[in-house]
Structure 1
Amino acid sequence: MDLSNCLSLLSLGEAYGSASLLHSANEFVVQNFYDLSKTQEFLDMQENILEACLKSDALNVPSEEAVIMALLRWIRHDLPGRQKLLPGLMSLTRLHHLPATLLKALRDSNALLCSDESCLSLLSGALGRQTQYEGLLADARPATTQSYIYIHKTEERGEVSHTLCYCLETDQWKDLRTEIGFETASMPDLPGSCLTSYAEKIFVTGGCRGNCCRAVRLHVAEPYHNAIDEVWCFCPVTLTCTPAPPMLKPRTMHTAVTCLDRVYVIGGRTRGSRGEAPSLLEVEYYNPLTQAWSSVSPLPTAIFYPEASACGGIIYTLGSEVEITDSFNPSLDCFFRYDAQQDQWSRLVAEFGQFFHATLVKAVSINNTLHLCDLSTYKVYSFCPETGVWKGEGSFECAGFNAGAIGLRDRIYILGGDYSPDEITEEVQVYYSGRSQWEEVSPMPRALTEFHCQLISFNRYRDPWGDTEG
C-alpha cells in the first residue's frame, strides 16, 4: 500500500466489505494524510473519507494549518460541486489551534472564505476561543504538538528549586532555570502541594503553609497541617503564574489528575492538628474553562497518599488505609474506580498476586490501561478491569525509591529516585509496551528524588522550550 493506491484500496475494501482491508487502508490514509494531501489522488478523495480524516484525533499532520490548506485545495479542485461542503467540513477542523495571525489572514484576505458567512463565523469563533481560553484548549491533535516531561523540585528549606524538561521527540533535557530563564518565574510549591498539567498550563493545588518538612515521611509526622485551599495557574509560555479560584476544601498530601477536561483533586488531609485533621473523603474537580469548582461523590473510605491515574473517563485511585510512619511501609490495600461520567465510585478487589508497599508504587496509564510500577521489585503490572487481575508486563533494570513515572501512549518513563538518602540517581528508563522492552535514555541533568513530574504538550508554534530556530 502506498500513496498512489491507498484510496483505491479503501474504496475496494468498502465495495467488497473487507473489514481488514478497510481498516488497513483507513489507518494508512490517516497516518500519511500530510503527504497524501500533496498528491493528485487526494483531490479525488471521497467526501466521507475526508470527513473521517478531519474528525480524527490521530491525523498525522505537522500543524492544523496543514489540515486547513489541504481542505481548501480539495474544495478548489471542484469548486462548483464542493463549495457548499466547505462550512461543514471546516467545522470538523480545529481552527482554534491555528496561530491568531493566520486566522486573521484567512478571515480578511482568503477569497474562498471571505465570501462565505458560515466560514467567517467559524473563523471569528476560533479567534474568540483563543482569546478567552489561551493555553487551555486541550484538543490539539497529538501530531501537531511537542510533548515534554516536566520536572519541578523545591529543596527542603524552600530556597533552592530545580526545573527540568525532557523532549520526548529529541531525547534531550533542558535545565529551564539556566537555559530558558525560569529563574524569573515564580511558582508556588508548598510542602504537600500537587502539580497537574492541563493543556499548556500547570495547576498547583493546596499544600501547607509554615515550616512543614517536604519529605513524605517527615511531612506526614508534622503535628499540625496548615493546609490551604489556594490554586495557582502557571503558564510556561508566558512565564506567568496567576491565582485561580480556591478549592472547596483546604488540603495537603492529596493527588490530582486530569480527566474529561477537568482537574480532579482526591484525598489528602485538611487543616488541623495531626489527630484532628482526618483524611478527606471529599472529591472535587475544577473546570479551567468555566473557572469553577464542583463537588462530586466522595471516596468510599479515607485513603493515605493516593496514587491516581486516568484511563479514558475512568480514574483509578490506589493507596493505603493506614497512615505511614517512620517505622514501616503500609501495604497497598485501597483500590478504587471512579467513573467520571457517571460520578460513581466503586471499590475494587484486585488480585495483586503479591504484597505491594503503598509508598513504593506509581500508577500510570498507557493505551488507556492502568499500569502499576513497583519501585521495590522493579516490575510492571497491567490491570485487566474485566477479570480484576494484575498481569506482569516485565521488569526494569533498577529504579530508586520516590522515582517519577510518566505514561504516554505506549510507553512508561521511570525517572530518578533514591537508593538511600545519600545515593540519588539521575537515570531515566523507558518501557515500550508494544515490544515489552526497556531501554535507558538520556539521564536527567541532575540527580533528583521526590519531585513533581508531569507530561505537558504544546502546539509546535507555541512551544516555549523548543529550539529557537524552529
Structure 2
Amino acid sequence: MDETSCLDVLALAEAHSLEDLRRRAEDYVLAHFQRVAEGEKFRDLPCVQLQRLLERDALNADSELDVFRAVVNWVEDDKDQRLCHLSRLMQGVRFRLMRPEELLEVQDCKLLVRSSGGKTALEIVNNLLHGDKRTSDCKPRTPNQVLVLVGGDCVNENFERREPNLCLWFAHRFMRGEGLIRTIEWRPLARLPEPPRFRHCVCVLNNTLYILGGRKYYGALDILKTALRFDPAQGRWECLPDMSSPRDYFAAVCHRGKVFVLGGNSDDMNCLDSVECYTPDDNTWRSTPNLCKLSHPLDVALCGHAAAVLNGEMFVSGGCDSRLRCYPCLWLYDPVRGCSKRAPMTVGAGRAGHVMLVAGHRLVVAGGLQPMLAGFGDQLQCESYDPVHDSWSSFPFLPRPHLSPAAVTLDGQLYVLGGSSADSARDTSWVHRYDPQAKCWDKLGAMPRPYADLAACALQLPVSLKS
C-alpha cells in the first residue's frame, strides 16, 4: 500500500468483508491521513468511512486544522450531495486542540458561515475563542503526542547538593545507534513558574497540563498546596486556586472532566486520607463528603501510593501510612461510596513509591520499593491486574530500580523514567519502555539529568515546537 492505493484497498476489503485487510488499510490511512487527504481518491471516500476515521484517536495530522480542512474540501467537492453531512462530520473535528489563530480561520470558513450544518461548529469555535472552560471530552490525536518531563530534583553538576528542577523537557526523537546503543534527543518545552517542584503530580485534561502540589525544597514547611495549569497550544501558564492541604508523595488522576488528588504527605509526619476534586467549570476545589458534590476519603491515610483510571473507574494501589507500614492493597475508589477492596498485589509484602499504568484492559504496577527484614529494598518485579476476574498475573521484571519515577502510557507502550534506588540511594537517568508486542522492557536512553521525584505526561504540542 501507499498513499495512492490505500483507499482502493480499504474499499476492496469493505466490499468482500476482509476484516484483517480492512483494519490494516484503515491503519495505513490513519497514519498517512494528511497525504491521503490531498489525493484524488479521497474525494470519493464514503461519508461513513470518513466519519469513522475522524473519530479515531490514531488519526495522524500536523494539526487539527488540517483535519478540518480535509473535511471542508471533501464536502465542497460535491456540495449539493454532501452538505447534509457537514454537521455530523464536524462532530469528529476536535476544535479544542486548535490554537486561537487556527480557530479564527475556522470562524471565517464560508462553508460553515453560509450553511445551517455549520452552526453548531461555529458556536463551539466562538465559545473557545471567548475562553470557554467547559470540560467536554477531547482527547489529543495519539500520534501527535510527545513525552514530557516535568520538574523533579537531582544532584547539581558539582555534586555539592540536591537542586529542584524548573524545566519541562519533551522527547523530540528516540534514536538507535550502533549495536544496542540508544539515545533520546530532549528539547526544552517551557520553564516552571517559581517555585520549582518535585514529589508533585501531573495529569492532562483536554490537552491541558495540570501540575499539582509537591514541594519546593527539603524542609517540612516546603510542601506545596498550589496548583498550575499549562496550555501547550498557547504556551500560557495559569495559577489555580490552592488545594485545602499541602501534599507530596500523593496521587492524581483526571476523571469525568475533573481532577482528583488523593492522599499524600502533608508535613513529613502525617499522611492524608482526604481526597480533593478540582472542577474546571467553576475553578474550585472541593473536599470532605457531602452528597454527590464532594469526595469521600480513602480507607487509609497514605503516601507513596499510585492511582489510575481504567474503564471509567479509579483504582488506588499500595503506599505507606504514617508509621511506614507498606500496603499490598488495591482499592476501587468512588467519590461518593469511598473505597472498596479488590484482590491485593501478590508480589512482596507491599509496594510504595511505584507507578500504575493502563495497558489495554489491564493495570500494570511497576517500580518502587518493598518491605524487607530490615528496612526497604528495591522492587524490580512488576505485575498486572485484570479487573474482570479481579486477579493479578506476572509481568516482566524492570531491568533497573525505579523508586518514585515518572511514568506514562504513549502509543500503547509503557514508559518508566528516572527515580532512584532504595538499595544504593543513587538517582537514575534511564528511561525504560515496555513494548506489549515484544513483551519486554527496553532501555531507550537517558533523561537530560538523573531526575528523581519527577512527573511525566503525554501532550500534543504545536507543530512549530516539534519541528
TM-score (norm 2): 0.78
SS in 1 for 2:124: helix
Task: Report sequence identity in percent.
Answer: 20
* Equivalent residue number for residue 437 of structure 1: 440
8 Å Cα contact 2:381/2:397 also seen in 1: yes
| Cα RMSD, aligned residues only | 3.7
8 Å Cα contact 2:134/2:280 also seen in 1: no
* Equivalent residue number for residue 68 of structure 1: 68
* Equivalent residue number for residue 366 of structure 1: 359
8 Å Cα contact 1:198/1:456 also seen in 2: no
* Equivalent residue number for residue 301 of structure 1: 300
* Equivalent residue number for residue 391 of structure 1: 393
Amino acid at match of 1:84: C
Match of 1:188 among 181, 187, 195: 195
Q: Structure 1's 359 and 242: CA in aligned 2 closer, same or farther, altered over 3 A?
A: same
Task: Report how far residue 93 of structure 1 moved.
Answer: 1.3
Which deviates the most, 305-314 or 414-423?
A: 414-423
Q: Deviations over 1:292-334 (max 9, x none)?
A: 3342233233334221122241222112464355xxxx44322
Which structure 2 residues correspond to residues 72-151 of structure 1 after superposition, within 5 A? Answer: 72-108=72-108, 110-119=109-118, 122-133=121-132, 139-143=138-142, 145-151=144-150
* Equivalent residue number for residue 52 of structure 2: 52
Q: Deviations over 1:47-90 (max 9, x none)?
A: 21112222222223232222222222222222221223223322
SS in 1 for 2:352: helix
Amino acid at match of 2:446: P
Match of 1:348 among 335, 338, 342: 342
* Equivalent residue number for residue 406 of structure 1: 408
8 Å Cα contact 1:188/1:204 also seen in 2: no
8 Å Cα contact 2:198/2:454 also seen in 1: no
* Equivalent residue number for residue 218 of structure 1: none
Q: Deviations over 1:247-292 (max 9, x none)?
A: 3555454221223332111112557x94xx5x43332321224323
8 Å Cα contact 1:303/1:334 also seen in 2: no
8 Å Cα contact 2:231/2:237 also seen in 1: yes
Q: Structure 1's 137 and 402: CA in aligned 2 closer, same or farther, altered over 3 A?
A: same
* Equivalent residue number for residue 319 of structure 1: 318
Amino acid at match of 1:187: E
Tell me the matched-pair count: 437
Output the CA distance in 1 between the equivalents of 2:385 and 2:43: 45
Q: Deviations over 1:360-403 (max 9, x none)?
A: 53222233531111352433322112233322232232235443
Task: Report how far residue 125 of structure 1 moved.
Answer: 2.6
Structure 1 spans left out of the alignment, 5+ residues: 214-221
Output the CA distance in 2 between the equivalents of 1:9 and 1:79: 26
8 Å Cα contact 2:247/2:265 also seen in 1: yes
Amino acid at match of 2:433: V
Match of 2:449 among 441, 446, 449: 446
SS in 2 for 1:72: helix
* Equivalent residue number for residue 418 of structure 1: 420
Which deviates the most, 198-207 or 34-43?
A: 198-207
Q: Deviations over 1:142-166 (max 9, x none)?
A: 2563412213125699975352523
Q: Deviations over 1:166-201 (max 9, x none)?
A: 31644544474xxx673xx52335676544444454
Task: Report how far residue 457 of structure 1 moved.
Answer: 0.7
Task: Report how far residue 348 of structure 1 moved.
Answer: 0.8
Match of 1:256 among 244, 247, 252: 252
Q: Structure 1's 101 and 441: CA in aligned 2 closer, same or farther, altered over 3 A?
A: same
Amino acid at match of 1:186: P
8 Å Cα contact 2:246/2:266 also seen in 1: yes
Q: Structure 1's 207 and 28: CA in aligned 2 closer, same or farther, altered over 3 A?
A: closer
* Equivalent residue number for residue 371 of structure 2: none
Output the CA distance in 2 between the equivalents of 1:405 and 1:43: 42
Match of 2:167 among 163, 168, 176: 163
8 Å Cα contact 1:199/1:458 also seen in 2: no
Q: Deviations over 1:192-250 (max 9, x none)?
A: 654444445443434579x853xxxxxxxx6xx78765433345666654431233555
SS in 2 for 1:337: strand
Match of 1:282 among 274, 299, 304: 274
Which deviates the most, 414-423 or 365-374?
A: 414-423
8 Å Cα contact 1:135/1:201 also seen in 2: no
Output the CA distance in 1 between the equivalents of 2:125 and 2:40: 30
Q: Deviations over 1:327-360 (max 9, x none)?
A: xxx44322112357x866321123x333154235
Output the CA distance in 1 between the equivalents of 2:458 and 2:132: 17
* Equivalent residue number for residue 335 of structure 1: 330
TM-score (norm 1): 0.78
Task: Report how far residue 37 of structure 1 moved.
Answer: 1.9
Output the CA distance in 1 between the equivalents of 2:2 and 2:70: 19
8 Å Cα contact 1:195/1:452 also seen in 2: no
8 Å Cα contact 1:337/1:347 also seen in 2: yes
8 Å Cα contact 2:313/2:332 also seen in 1: yes
